[in-house]
Amino acid sequence: MSFEDDLIERGETGFDRVLAFSIPHREARGRIVRLGPVLETILSAHDYPAPIRLQLGEALVLSALIGSLMKDPGSQLTLQAQAEGGPVDLLVCDYRNGELRGYVRHDPDKLASVGSNPTLESLFGVGYLAITFDLSASAERYQGIVPLEGESLAQACESYFARSEQIPTLLRVGMRNSGEGAVASGLLVQHFPDGEEGRERLHVRDENPEWQHIATLAGSIRHDELVDPDLSLEQIVWRLFHEETEVRVESQPMLSRGCRCTIEHYRKVLAQFPASELDDMRNEAGTIPVDCAFCSKVLEIDL
């Protein structure tokens, strides 16, 4: 029996699934995720160097954590970093209905000049991080933009929640590259006054004693615990919060690689262009080649 089969038999959560949890008496909620095969599938679409794999892995984990907070099944979360001055000028990931996809555009020559263990600043230079929510139920879109600062993308996301949402948030992300395949995992914990969403948040402060207590416990998570496949997500939550009066957990649906590069999709997109522009796009065979950056496929669209 495989490790994953053993976890399923025990009712515990392994790879490519988010575990939701809440601690009602501390007015806190959280998510924890560990990506495995889905991560490797997304990374394998391009021959990414190790530093780029690390950034994309972290971004995919953050997308799964934040995206899984949305209640409406058809809603989409997009995480996008744009920058100039460094090897990476674009990183984009999105999450919709448990489907993840992501892509990084970078300059190999510039990347070679920043060493094997570059900082976030040396990789991106000066830029911003945009987090966009497209809500299916209300057809609304809202976006928060913060400077691309700190030691990691996780720190930039913490800044987003502090500035745009006014929600005390702790994020921890870890990734391991090995011959057995990449593993990336992350933990998100948030504080809500009275344990409810939608309440007035102006009085929520980082010095709230309930939040300080939970943040201290959650912040003790180690990198090796996050990426250890021998630890189920339930076991990690238990390690962190087993002394609490009540911790509620709920496993979410399986995650998958969700690229939407179908001929039907691109036909709908291209149909919005004027006929003269479509003629300029055609190749000698009369079709329009569309290169999907997410999965590295070229589709020939016949219009």
Q: Model confidence at 9, in pLDDT bands (50, 70, 90)?
A: very low
The region of weakest confidence among 51-55, 211-215, 295-299 is: 295-299
The reported pLDDT for the residue numbered 71 is 87
Between residues 72 and 224, the one the model is more confident about: 224
pLDDT beyond 70 at 265: yes
Name the residue among 262, 258, 240, 260 with its Cα closest to residue 249. Answer: 240
Residues 6+ apart with CB under 8 A from 153: 55, 58, 59, 62, 81, 120, 129, 173
> What's the pLDDT at 132?
96
- What average pLDDT does this structure show over 159-176? 92
Model pLDDT, residue 278? 80
pLDDT tens digit sequence for 230-252? 899 999 999 999 999 999 999 88
What is the set of domains in the chain, with CATH numbers?
3-257 (3.55.30.10), 263-301 (no CATH)
Yes or no: say if 85 and 125 are a contact pair by the CB < 8 Å rule: yes
**What pLDDT digit, counting tens, does each position of 76-129 carry?**
999 999 999 999 999 999 999 999 999 999 999 999 999 888 999 999 999 999
For residue 208, give every residue at least 6 positions away whose Cβ sits within 8 Å of its Cβ, in sequence order, or none: 168, 191
pTM for the model: 0.87
Mean pLDDT of 296-303: 73
Q: In terms of DSSP bridges, do strands 125-134 and 99-106 run parallel, antiparallel, or are they unpaired?
A: unpaired
Number of H helices, E strands in the chain: 11, 13
Residue 173 near residue 62, CB atoms below 8 Å: yes
pLDDT attached to residue 204: 52
Per-residue confidence (pLDDT) for residue 91, from 0 to 100: 97
Q: Write the CA distances from 276 to 187, 279, 280, 282, 286, integer angstroms.
A: 50, 5, 7, 10, 14
Q: Which residue has the tokens 């102006």?
A: 202
71 CB neighbour count, 10 Å cutoff: 9
What per-residue confidence (pLDDT) applies to 297?
Answer: 72
| Coil/strand/helix, residue 57 | helix
Q: Mean pLDDT lowest for which of 48-57, 179-188, 292-301? A: 292-301
